Amino acid sequence: MPEGDTIFRAARRLHQALAGRAVTRFESVFPALSRVDDDAALRGRRIERVEARGKHLLIWFSGSLVLRTHMRMSGSWHIYRPHERWQRPHRDMRIVIETSELHAIAFNVPVAEFSTAEALARAGPIQQLGPDPLSPEFHKDEAVDRLMARADTEIADALLDQSAIAGIGNVYKSEILFAGRTNPFARVSELTRADVARLVDIAVRFMRANVADRSSGAIETYRGLRRTTGRSDPGARLWVYSRADKPCRRCGTAISRRRQGLHARATYWCERCQPR
C-alpha cells in the first residue's frame, strides 16, 4: 500500500503539473464523480492546488470543490502530455483530468469522492487524521499524546493508526521500530513517553528524507525507491522490511516475520536488536 511519502510525492508532481491550469476535460468511471461533473461541470474550473494529507490526496478546484482520492493497495496517479501513450491499460483508468498542456490519469484508485472545503473542515476522514509528519504544521507533542493514549495497543499497531499519526504504513512501521530498537509487540503502556517521542522523531526523519526533492523539476511519475538505511546500494535500502530470515544489518541475527493485529499485517524485526 502506498504510504504517506508516496502520496506526498504524487501530490507534489500533480501540483507542479496542474496548479493554475484550467480543466479542459474530465472523465471518470465512478458514477458519483460523473454526476457531480454533470451538475457542476469541472470543465473551465481552475486547479488551485494539490496536496497530501496522510495517505489521502486532495485536488482543489475553483468554486470550493475538492477531489479526494485514496490509493489503497494498487492505485496511482500518472501525468502525461496530450497524445502521449499511457503506461497502463485503459481498463485500469478511473479518473481523467485534462488541461491544455498536461493530463492527470488515476489508475486503479478505489476510493474517490468530491467534497467541498467546508465539508472537509467539518467532518469525514480528513478530520479524523492525526498529525502528519510531512506537514509543515506537524505537532510532535500531539502525535506523542495520541500514541500514548493507546496504552493497550501494541506499538506496531499504534503506529499504523491514522488517527494517531498519519501516513505511516507497514514498511515504515517495521523500519521505525527497528531504528528505535523497540519490540513491535510491546504495548504502548510498556514504553515511556521518551520512548514514544524517539519513535516519532525517527518517523519524521525517515519520511522527510524520502520526499526530499532532488529532481531537475521535470514533470514525471516518481520511480524512486524508499530508503531508511541511508545506503546507496538498492539492495541495502531497508533495515528489516521484507527481509525475513536474512541477517540483521546490525548484528547478523536472522530477521523474524509475524502477522500482527486485526488485519494480520506482516511485521519484521530483529529479536536481538529489539528484545521484548
Catalytic residues: 2-3, 55, 265
SS3 44: coil
Report the C-alpha dihedral over residues 81, 84, 89, 94, rounded to 10 degrees: 20
Helix (H) or strand (E) holding 71: none
Q: Rounded distance, CA 222 to CA 243, Å?
A: 24
Q: Exposed, middle or buried, 49 (CB in 10 Å: 0-12/13-18/19+)?
A: middle
- Residue 193: other Cβ atoms inside 10 A: 12
CB-CB contact of 27 with 95 (8 Å): yes
Kindly tell me the burial class for residue 237, based on how many C-beta atoms sit within 10 Å of its own C-beta (0-12, 13-18, 19 or more): middle
The β-bridge relationship of strands 93-98 and 47-53 is: unpaired
The one-letter amino acid at 113: E
**Which contacts qualify for 249-253: CB closer than 8 Å, 24 or more apart?**
none
Measure the CA angle with vertex 13, ends 126 and 201; round to 5°: 55
The dihedral built from the CA positions of residue 223, 86, 98 and 30, taken in this order, carries a sign that is negative
What order do you get walking across the sheet with 103-107 strand by strand? 25-28, 93-98, 103-107, 76-80
Distance CA 226, CA 222 (A): 11
